[in-house]
């Protein structure tokens, strides 16, 4: 990683998360910067990962102005990678931008998502308009981006990054959960639904893009797509991941059966949410049981287990069949961004990590 002439002091928010923790690790291990890891609470699972290194770990709940003020002292670069609910994504970003403005940070790198484009078709470039979907995560990320550009007009040197599907070791969504799905024997090739494009970017390639945005003057005031070197279908991703795990060939699942499985899982999820929201805690424990000792409790546990490896209806209808590609051409031209990890290499590294951490049967 190249740096400016003087070593930067970098605050990474959301440092206990998948992306934030890897940013902290790479900046520390390469000596690229003095890194400060901002966390919300010590009980966060990712804190143990950070504690392996002699980095400065500080409280930085982005909804807490006093913590932000203290965490920003002496900081030159902010990498904002907090992942929260809609309020945190919007108001937390506003709080951090306001403090960054007061402290005169030299660069504010905001980690957004390609989901801000909504559900378009074709080649999606940075000038593609925002697409609101009613999904809290993506809609709140749009509002957070708008705040970033507002504060850029007020003098905060921001850069916005829109990565696609970020995977690699420690990824719960795209590695741990998919490994469980594939090992369950209940996953397959979704005919008619899984032929959309899977835009994968390995975590270390994303960190490369983050550091380029933090150091290149050309990045100020700009938004960049970040993607990996290969674009394959979701069904092909399932095949390659399955092969990397050395599992039997995946069965082909017909469109009607895929839809039925996903709809059933969605109904189970809605039922469990209804029970959780409507029943008092004492009644819920009496009926379901806190240790799965009752028949209802065993049924609820089985339902939760099935949902973990099941097909989410939203993903089946809105992700696995989405024919959109998010090229990183602008980042390649302006920032010299060059992704290094093809999908097979990224999966090999991810499977090795899964085995080391006991996720493989």
Q: Is 258 inside any structural domain?
A: yes
pLDDT, mean of residues 212-237: 98
At 102-142, the pLDDT tens digits run 999 999 999 999 999 999 999 999 999 999 999 999 999 99
What six digits make up the tokens of 317?
């209808």
Query: Does residue 335 lie within any of the structural domains?
Result: no
Residues 113 and 184 in one domain: no
- Same domain membership, residue 156 and residue 29: yes
- My answer on whether 82 and 147 are in the same domain is yes
**205 occurs within a structural domain:** no
CA–CA gap between residue 199 and residue 164 (Å, rounded): 6
More confident: 25 or 293: 25
One domain for residues 128 and 183: no
pLDDT at residue 261 in the model: 82
Q: In this structure, are 101 and 177 located in the same domain? A: no
Q: Calculate the average pLDDT of the chain.
A: 91
pTM for this entry = 0.90
Residues 186 and 141 in one domain: no
Q: Is residue 98 part of a domain?
A: yes
| CATH number of the domain within which 22 lies | 3.40.50.720
For residue 5, pLDDT over 70 is answered with: no
pLDDT band, very low/low/confident/very high, at 7 (cuts 50, 70, 90) = confident
pLDDT average, residue stretch 320-325: 97
pLDDT surpassing 90 at residue 232: yes
How many independent structural domains does the chain possess?
A: 2
Residues 158 and 179 reside in one and the same domain: no
Q: Which domain holds residue 304?
A: 172-199+229-323+341-361
Per-residue pLDDT tens digits for 137-180: 999 999 999 999 999 999 999 999 999 999 999 999 999 999 99
Question: Do 12 and 148 share a domain, yes or no?
Answer: yes
């Amino acid at each position: 990683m190249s740096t400016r002439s003087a070593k930067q002091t970098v605050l990474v928010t959301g440092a206990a998360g998948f992306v934030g923790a890897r940013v902290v690790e790479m900046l520390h291990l390469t000596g690229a910067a003095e890194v400060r890891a901002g966390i919300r609470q010590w009980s966060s699972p990712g804190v143990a990962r950070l504690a392996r290194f002699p980095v400065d770990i500080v409280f930085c709940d982005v909804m807490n102005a006093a913590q932000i003020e203290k965490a920003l002292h002496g900081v030159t670069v902010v990498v904002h990678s907090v992942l929260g609910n809609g309020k945190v994504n919007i108001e937390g970003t506003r709080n951090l931008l306001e403090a960054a403005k007061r402290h005169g940070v030299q660069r504010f790198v905001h980690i957004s998502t390609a989901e801000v484009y909504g559900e378009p078709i074709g080649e999606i470039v940075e000038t593609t308009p925002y697409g609101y979907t009613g999904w809290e995560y993506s809609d709140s990320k749009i509002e957070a981006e708008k705040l970033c550009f507002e504060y850029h007009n007020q003098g905060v040197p921001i850069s916005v990054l829109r990565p696609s599907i970020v995977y690699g070791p420690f990824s719960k969504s795209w590695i741990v959960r998919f490994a469980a799905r594939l090992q369950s024997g209940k996953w397959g090739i979704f005919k008619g639904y899984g032929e959309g494009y899977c835009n994968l970017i390995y975590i270390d390639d994303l960190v490369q893009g983050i550091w380029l945005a933090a150091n290149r003057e050309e990045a100020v005031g700009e938004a960049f797509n970040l993607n990996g070197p290969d674009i394959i279908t979701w069904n092909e991703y399932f095949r390659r991941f399955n092969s990397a795990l050395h599992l039997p060939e995946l069965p082909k699942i017909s469109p009607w059966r895929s839809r039925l499985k996903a709809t059933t899982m969605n109904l189970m999820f809605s039922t469990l949410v209804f029970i959780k929201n409507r029943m008092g805690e004492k009644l819920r424990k009496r009926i379901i049981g806190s240790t799965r000792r009752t028949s209802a409790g065993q049924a609820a546990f089985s339902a939760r287990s099935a949902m973990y490896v099941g097909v989410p209806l939203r993903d089946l209808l809105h992700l696995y069949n989405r024919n959109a590609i998010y090229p990183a051409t602008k980042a390649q031209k302006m920032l010299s961004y060059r992704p290094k990890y093809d999908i097979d290499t990224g999966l090999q590294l991810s499977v090795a990590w899964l085995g080391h951490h006991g996720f493989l049967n």
